[in-house]
Amino acid sequence: MKEQKQTVLVLDFGGQYKELIAQSVRKLGVYSEILPGNVPVERIAEKKPIGLILTGGPSSVHEKDAPSADPRLFELGVPVLGICYGMQLMCHMLGGVVKPGDQGEYGRVKAELDPDCVLFKDVSPRLMVLMSHRDHVKELPAGFVPFGRTKGCPIAACGDPAKKLYAVQFHPEVKNTDEGQKVLRNFLYDVCGAVGDYSIDDYIEQTIYEIRERVGNKRVLLALSGGVDSSVCAALISRAVPGQLTCVFVDHGCMRKNEPDEVESAFRGRDLHFIRVNAADRFLAKLAGVTDPEQKRKIIGAEFIAVFEEEAKKLGEISFLAQGTIYPDVVESGMVGNKSATIKSHHNVGGLPEKIGFEGIIEPLRGLFKDEVRELGRRLGLPDFIVERQPFPGPGLAVRCIGEVTKEKLDILREADYICRTEFGKLKKKPDQYFAVLTNMRTVGVMGDERTYDYVCALRAVTTTDFMTCEYTRIPHATLARTASRIVNEVRGISRVVFDITGKPPATIEWE
Ligand code: XMP
C-alpha cells in the first residue's frame, strides 16, 4: 500500500451539508471521507484520522431516537470540530446543557467572534454567518470556553483548546457564511496539523496503484453509458491496466441526437476494447404499449441487464466488474445509512453484480463528488463534451417521452431536444440541466392555411447544485422565443411549445 494521505473524517448526523463539508476539506488540500455518525471508534481509529468533523442534523439531542456518537470519540486525542447539531451533541455528551432557544435562528445573522480563538485567526471578528437552529448550548461542559455569540445565541462557538475540541453553531461550509472556508482551513491546518498533502492528482496516482494491485493481469468489464461517471471510470481503468478493460455500450434507442456515435468516438484510440450493442429494436419492442413511468424504467433496467449479460457471456473469463458509482449515488441508494422513499427507481447502482458472478467489483470513483469526477476526467484527457455533460437518466429519452415510447415520438423528441440544448447552451450563464420533453398531448395549430393537430413540447431548465432540489431557471424571453420558433418550424410533429416553471419539490426534474 502506498503511503496514506492525512484524512479528516466527517461524521454524519443527517445534515444536508455533509457532502459540502467533505468537499470543502478536500478542496483545502486534505483527504476527507464521510462515515455514519454512530460509527464505532475502532473503525475511526483504523482510518488514523488527523481530525473529525461532526455535521449538523435536523434532530434535537433530547429526542428519543436522536442520532448519537460513540462516547469514546472524544477520548481519542483526535481534534474534533462540531458544527450545528454536531456542536450540540458534543456539548451534551460532555456534560453541557442544550436547550431550545426562545425562538430559532434561521438565515444570515451577525456573529461576534473571539479573534484569539485559533478557529477565527485572520477572520473578521464580526462576521455574517448562516444559522439554522432552534436548540442551542446553554451551559458549557467543563473545560470549555465560549468563543462567539449572536443576538439569539449567546454561545455560537466554543471549545476546549487543551483537548483540541471545537464547535460552532453556524455553518462554515456554506457560501452564506462569509469567510467560512477560512474557519475550516484554520481547523485543518492550525488545529489538526494538516500539511495539505492531497490533490486530485494524488487520487489518480493512488487509484491507479490500487487498481493494478487488485486486478493484476485479469480482465475488467464496464457498462459504459457515455455519462460523465462511467466515462471517467473507463479512462481511469484503461490507464491503470491498459488493454484489460472491455466496455460495453448499449444503445437502447433512447439516446439523444448523435449521442451513440459521439460516445464511440470519444473512446476510439484509448487502450480498451469498446463493444457497441445496437439494441434499439429490442428495447422498443419491450416498451410497446407501456405508459406507466415506473414500468418503463423497470423494463429498460431489466432489458439492459439482459443485453449486458449476453455480451458478458460472449467475452469469456472476466474477473472484475467496474462501476462508475460516485458518492451521491451511494448516499441516494441508502448505503450510508440515510433511508429515503423511492421516488423513482434510478438505474445505475446495483443490479448487475448479483446476477453475473464476478470475483469483485471495482468502483474507483466511490468517494468523489461530481465536480471532482469532472476534474479527474479533464486530467485524464477526456473531451469537454463528455466531461461537461449534463446528467442524463439511465432510461434516457424514454422518461422524457410521456406515454407510450415509440420510434416516431423519440425521433421528434430528439430533434426538439437538440434545438433546445443548442439554444439554451448559448447562454452565458447556463442552467445546470436543460432539455425538451415530448408531452403526450396534441393540440390544434395552424400552419400555412392548414389545420394541424400535433404534439406539445415542453422545455425544462433548472438551477441546482445537488439535483435533490431545484428552481426553474429564468431563461431570457428572447431565447425562449427563438427556441420555440425553431422547434415548431424545424421539427415535424410539434405545433406548440411550453416552458415548465415548477421547482423541485414538488415537481421532479424529469417528468417521469
Ligand atoms: P429527478 O427527476 O428525480 O432527477 O428530480 C434528479 C436528477 O437525476 C437524474 N436522473 C437519473 N440519473 N439514472 C440516473 O443516472 C436515472 O434513472 C435517473 N433518473 C433521473 C435527473 O436527470 C436529474 O438530474
pLDDT digits (tens, 9 = 90+) for 247-283: 999 999 999 999 999 999 999 889 999 999 999 999 9
The stretch 39-61 carries a mean pLDDT of 95
In this structure, the residue with its CA closest to atom 19 of ligand 1 is 393
Instruction: Give yes or no: 173 in active site.
Output: yes
457 counts as catalytic: no
Residue 248 Cα to ligand 1 middle (Å)? 22
What pLDDT, on the 0 to 100 scale, is given for residue 174? 87
Asked if 253 contacts 259 with a C-beta cutoff of 8 angstroms, the reply is no
C-alpha cell at 344: 423513482
Query: From 3.90.870.10, 3.30.1330.80, 3.30.300.10, 3.40.50.150, which CATH number describes the 406-499 domain?
Result: 3.30.300.10
Task: Tell me the percentage of the chain whose pLDDT exceeds 90.
Answer: 81
For the chain, which residues make up each domain, given as ranges? 7-191, 200-387, 406-499
Cβ–ligand 1 distance for 149 under 6 Å, the answer no
Q: For residue 198, what are the CA distances in angstroms to 27, 188, 201, 429?
A: 9, 13, 8, 31
pLDDT of 237 reads: 98
pLDDT band at 444 (very low <50, low <70, confident <90, very high): very high
Provide the pLDDT confidence category of residue 83 given band limits of 50, 70 and 90: very high
**Residue 223 pairs with which residues in a beta bridge?**
248
Same fold, 7-191 and 200-387: yes
Mean pLDDT, rounded, for 367-386: 90
- The predicted structure's pLDDT at residue 463: 94
Please tell me whether residue 488 adopts helix, strand or coil conformation.
Answer: helix
Q: Which atom of ligand 1 is nearest to the CA of 510?
A: 2
pLDDT attached to residue 406: 98
Q: Give the three cell numbers for residue 316.
A: 469469456
Ligand 1 center–CA 211 separation, angstroms: 29
Strand ranges for 329-449 from DSSP E: 360-362, 433-447
Work out which ligand 1 atom sits closest to the CA atom of 390: 24
Q: 468: CA distance to ligand 1 center in Å? A: 9
Q: Find the catalytic residue in 19, 105, 173, 303.
A: 173
Cα gap 251→156, rounded to integer Å: 55
Q: Are 494 and 382 in contact (CB under 8 A)?
A: no
* pLDDT tens per residue, range 199-235: 988 889 989 999 999 999 999 999 999 999 999 999 9
Instruction: Report pLDDT digits (tens) over 92-106.
Output: 999 999 999 878 888
Q: Which amino acid is at 253?
A: G
Average pLDDT of the residues in 358-372:
88
Buried b (16+ CB within 10 A) or exposed e, 84-98: bbbbbbbbbbbebeb
Catalytic residue, from 92, 133, 171, 252: name it.
171
Residue owning grid cell 410539434: 494
pLDDT digits (tens, 9 = 90+) for 185-202: 999 999 999 999 999 888
Q: Is 477 a catalytic residue?
A: no
Gap from CA of 510 to ligand 1 centroid (Å)? 7
Average pLDDT for 467-492: 95
Round the average pLDDT of the chain to a whole number and report it: 92
CA distance to 127, 197, 282, per residue, from 53 (Å):
21, 19, 50
Residue type, 264: E
Q: Which atom of ligand 1 is nearest to the CA of 470?
A: 5
Question: Is the minimum distance from the CB of 82 to ligand 1 under 6 angstroms?
Answer: no
Fold of 200-387: Rossmann fold (3.40.50)
- Is the CB–ligand 1 distance for residue 504 below 6 Å? yes
Identity at 11, one-letter amino acid code: L
pLDDT at 462: 97
Taking a C-beta distance cutoff of 8 angstroms, is the pair 36, 61 a contact? Answer: no
CB 463 within 8 A of CB 504: no
Confidence (pTM): 0.76
pLDDT over threshold 50, residue 15: yes
> Please, which pLDDT band fits residue 79 given cuts at 50, 70 and 90?
very high
**What does the alpha-carbon distance between residue 278 and residue 70 come to, in Å, rounded to a whole number?**
53
Residue 17 has pLDDT above 90, yes or no: no
Residues 462 and 433 sit within 8 Å (Cβ to Cβ): yes
Q: Whose CA is nearest to atom 3 of ligand 1?
A: 508
Mean pLDDT of 470-481: 96
Radius of gyration of the chain from its Cα atoms, rounded to whole angstroms: 26
pLDDT in tens, 231-255: 999 999 999 999 999 999 999 999 9
Catalytic hit among 84, 158, 247, 401:
84
Report pLDDT for 128.
95
Class of domain 7-191: alpha beta
pLDDT number for residue 473: 97
User: How far does the centroid of ligand 1 lie from the alpha carbon of residue 254, in Å?
Assistant: 15
* C-alpha 438 to ligand 1 mean position (Å): 17
The pLDDT value recorded for residue 354 is 58
How high is the pLDDT of residue 155? 96
Q: What pLDDT is stored for residue 82 in this prediction?
A: 98
Beta carbon of 370 within 6 Å of any ligand 1 atom: no
Find the range with the poorest average confidence among 12-21, 77-86, 110-119, 496-505: 12-21
- Ligand 1 atom nearest the C-alpha of 399 is 19
Q: Kindly provide the residue ranges of all beta strands, DSSP E only, lying in 86-215, ordered along the sequence.
A: 97-113, 126-139, 145-150, 157-160, 165-168
Can you tell me whether residue 42 is helix, strand or coil? Answer: helix
Helix and strand totals (H; E) in the chain: 15, 18
CB 459 within 8 A of CB 497: yes
Q: Which long-range contacts (CB under 8 A, 24 or more apart) does 278-281 make?
A: 278/251, 279/250, 279/251, 279/252, 279/253, 279/303, 279/307, 280/251, 280/252, 280/253, 280/254, 280/407, 281/253
The pLDDT assigned to 105 comes to 87
